[in-house]
Structure 1
Amino acid sequence: MKRILIIEDEKVIAELERDYLEAHGYKVDIAMDGDSGLRLAIRGEHDLIILDLMLPGMNGFDVCRQIREEHNTPILMVTAKKEDIDVIRGLGLGADDYITKPFKPGELVARVKAHLARYDRLVGTRKNKEEIRIHGLLIDYGARRVFVHEQEVILTAKEFDLLYFLALNPNRVFSKDQLFERVWGMDAMGDAQTVTVHIRKLREKIETDASKAQYIETIWGAGYRFRL
């Protein structure tokens, strides 16, 4: 049984989310503030985390950042704000997707199912290459680890998925919309901006000089390409 952690300070909302998820066969834990939520998340016992941004104590942004220092567990960010800067910040810190309040419980359940299925597929499949080595870059698919010139770099779940997908299809140009569809899926909330944020974060982590891309090349007006 998949286990979900809800970090949400509004009790009515948290219990509604729990009831709908449990009705669909998930085991659910609830934390009412950022500090207790982080303690539960760090244990690594959950398959997905639903994280509200506006929390008492430690806010959702800091919780997300600290979770990402330890785990690649999918994080679905819940925000009452619609400003792009909050979405960009959350995605930049490692959230995989976001949903804006108010939302229909059925939409939340569908999003959770999609992310769990996608994560299981990416982690569990053995049809993909286990290792990709290109120009000092090593992508270990089985362990979901990345090394640049033998130094490990820590990626979020979606950063890893995006890098692996591009490296698995070298020299092929993908538009932002294509990358969003392939890596996040059509049912995910977001747009091309999500891809832009993740590409920027990837370059900061794997490129020696992000302004002169060795691995992920921008093809102006078309999209991105992984260089061989």
Structure 2
Amino acid sequence: MNQEKLRTALKVYFIMGSPNCLISPEDVLKEAIAGGITLFQFREKGEGALEGTEKYLLAKKLQQICRKHDIPFIINDDIELAILLNADGVHIGQEDEPIEKVREKIGKKILGVSVHTPDEAEAAIQGGADYFGIGPVFTTKTKKDARATQGTTLIEALRGKGFKIPIVGIGGISVENASTVFRSGADGVAVITAITHAASPLEAVRTLRNI
């Protein structure tokens, strides 16, 4: 996927796994797609997260829903599962496998990397990252080991330094604060609970798209 297509795909970036959902993950994803998400990341982490065969089967179901609606399907961290399912890409953090090794394993698939400093950003580009995930922008409860909230400072700093790579902001983003993330220079917003815990995931996504 070229950079311009990727920028468009990152606009309303939905991240979810079964621990985040109040109703079935399949129903949440279908509603979110109907509302207009542009990319989906399967992130099966947290209390009660599925493992092994159960995780694989859920991932496969969600991938089939995405494929039916032409939504890119990315897997968080689990490179082996991504390869097994022939997912569209993976997203990794700084504590995961080295970026170069992941790039080697997945070939030309989409590679997203979480970055927290300009040095990490430079290293991620050298390693073959296609886009950055930057955050937590705002306070988040989804990730127990989340770093300190940094607002949009790093996004603005990287754009100021001339980084052209697609960027998605993540962490505590809601319909109330999403516009500030876009104004800072991000191409998209990555959201979990703003969609999964909404009374209507479909309406929540529509509102984000309008922003």
Query: Relative CO higher for 1 or 2, CA cutoff 8 Å, sep ≥ 6?
Result: 2
Fold in common (TM above 0.5): no
What TM-score, normalized to structure 1? 0.30
Larger strand proportion of the pair: 1
Q: Report the TM-score, using the length of structure 2 for normalisation.
A: 0.32
Q: Say which one has the larger Rg.
A: 1
